[in-house]
Structure 1
Amino acid sequence: MSVVRRHNARLVGNGRTAMVFAHGFGCDQNMWRYVAPAFQDRYRTVLFDHIGAGGSDLSAYDVGKYTSLDGYADDVVELCRALDVRDGVFIGHSVSAMIGILASKKAPELFADLVLVCPSPRYLDDDGYVGGFSSPQIEELLDFLDTNHMGWSQAMAPAIMGNADRPELGEELTNSFCRTDPDIARRFARTTFLADNRVDLAGVKARCLVLQSSEDVIAPPEVGEYVHRHLPNSAFVLLDATGHCPNLSAPGETIAAIDGFLRGGGAWMR
């Protein structure tokens, strides 16, 4: 069970079906603390930290492996197989949405349902595709992170979180970013913001729910709509919530959407 310890994985709850929560860039499993408990009476919830984040084993970080999201997806597959996950629910926030897509294609038996919270298959704009950032903007963002990790965290986290009227949320995300090892953060940022996983949306067998905030500087609504259109079996919900982290800023609305999808079956698909 070394893979469980390596990812600082925690299992809580009842039920035969596993529900696996995966956090986004610069975060850890604590970002699900308002959402996961709502499902622990019906599911065996699994919370974990990606290698390099939170309480994970930093000695397991491999530069070559984690230059691609496939490396993180391989970890998800390994962890879930160790925990005997089958036909489970995967809930991935931000970059972990695409990590979940990749994991589900590598091992389709693991997940019957994927919940993708503010996903983006590509952050760069392209011909006929709105990703939210131009190439110079991405390079400026990455250069800023390369030269000043703390300054980047303090400037970017409140903008990513949104909800300026609730500064405590931005402060929490800032602190989370600042706790991340700067070298790992720089590499993970490049892996995240330079990835292009649009072709990976085809052929996903699991039912998918795309949850999109109504305002999001990282993944605008057009991105969520694109993901929905290109997934074979998906539902789309535009939340009233604003910011890139509705799991923190609007947990009640997030829980309700996930619960409705899981209980609603085929009636949700459109």
Structure 2
Amino acid sequence: MPHKPNNILQRNHVNISGKGNKTIMLAHGFGCSQHLWRFIRPYLEEHYQVVLFDYVGSGNSDFSAYQVERYKHLEGYALDVIEICDAMNIKDAIFVGHSISSTIGWIVTQQRPELFSHVVAICPSPCFLNLDNEYQGGFEQQYLEDLIALMDKDYIGWGNYLAPIVMGIDLAPIGPSIDKSDVLVHELLSSFCSTDVTYSKPFAAATFLSDYRSLLPRITHPSLVLQSSNDTLVSVGVGEYIQKNLQNAQLKIIEGNGHCLHVTHPLHVLDQMMTFLQAHPTDEQGLELNH
């Protein structure tokens, strides 16, 4: 039985704002929620209808809607995106994905290419594994399996280890001298650890142990890949691999640390996004115009 549109919007805690004719959809990464888009959302609202949401099992989504088999694989999260678009009658949207949401967006473009006109990928990786001489995703499989297993044994310790790596900032103790950067790491740590391991562990496994490189050559949407110059999770080399294998992509390196450029360097992300979108205008049907 199909879901009713309002049920889907409640299920994924969908929030809609902005005043533009064109829709931009912001998709959060693993362990995060729509809240982390707050640094770029106000500007985008001046130009677009902005759609924010939380994947089932994340943020303020309806956890009772969680289905074990569905969310073992990234295709289950892609189905969340598809169902939100269908519930809102969204087509030709600009999809902005952070980290693993970039891969989720690529899955959607294969299944329902009419939903998006452009794809912006922030610190993406189609595979985090070191596989062969051609592709080094950054991590050995045993290391990632051990990291995921740690979620069951010491969830807080897992979060304390991963959050500083993701944000690219050391975890400082909370106190009078704490600054904005420290606050961001603690916020991410809180986001990681506020979600029950029942939901976060399968998402982690789907994120870190999957290989979606085969999707890249089949994607024709105009794409912008934004990579951090110093990201422990995803190297510049991975960004170069993505740009090489996508048919219609630009790669821009933003000087900075960490895996959350939209949080730590929001103005740089906005500048690159707007430059890209202005250079790739679309007509009302979402087809790229040639100049």
Same fold (TM over 0.5): yes
1:136 aligned residue:
142
5+ residue gaps, structure 2: 1-5, 171-178, 282-291
The reply on whether 1:124 has 2:129 as its aligned counterpart is yes
The reply on whether 1:156 has 2:171 as its aligned counterpart is no
CA–CA separation in structure 2 for the residues paired with 1:111 and 1:260: 18
| C-alpha contact 2:127 2:208 (8 A) present in aligned 1 | yes
Deviations 1:72-101 (A, max 9, x none): 111101101111211110000011000000
2:79 is paired with a residue whose SS is helix
CA RMSD across the alignment:
1.6
Q: TM-score, normalised by structure 1?
A: 0.96
Which of residues 197, 214, 234 in structure 2 aligns to 1:219? 234
Give the Å deviation of 1:220: 1.1
The reply on whether 1:11 has 2:26 as its aligned counterpart is no
The reply on whether 1:231 has 2:246 as its aligned counterpart is yes
Report which of the two structures shows the higher radius of gyration computed on alpha carbons: 2
5+ residue gaps, structure 1: none
1:193 aligned residue:
208
CA–CA separation in structure 2 for the residues paired with 1:207 and 1:17: 16
Q: TM-score, normalised by structure 2?
A: 0.89
1:27 is paired with a residue whose SS is coil
| C-alpha contact 2:26 2:96 (8 A) present in aligned 1 | yes
Deviations 1:150-175 (A, max 9, x none): 11001210121113483222111101
1:209 is paired with a residue whose SS is strand
Which of residues 238, 253, 258 in structure 1 aligns to 2:268? 253
1:66 aligned residue:
71
Deviations 1:186-236 (A, max 9, x none): 111111111110001121131100000001111111111111111111000
CA–CA separation in structure 2 for the residues paired with 1:260 and 1:242: 22
1:74 is paired with a residue whose SS is helix
| C-alpha contact 2:137 2:234 (8 A) present in aligned 1 | yes
CA–CA separation in structure 2 for the residues paired with 1:11 and 1:105: 25
Moved more, 143-152 or 120-129: 143-152
- Moved runs in structure 1, 4+ residues, more than 4 A? none
2:151 aligned residue:
145
- Number of equivalent positions: 268
| C-alpha contact 1:108 1:205 (8 A) present in aligned 2 | no
CA–CA separation in structure 2 for the residues paired with 1:132 and 1:54: 27
1:171 is paired with a residue whose SS is helix
| C-alpha contact 1:17 1:86 (8 A) present in aligned 2 | no
1:36 aligned residue:
41
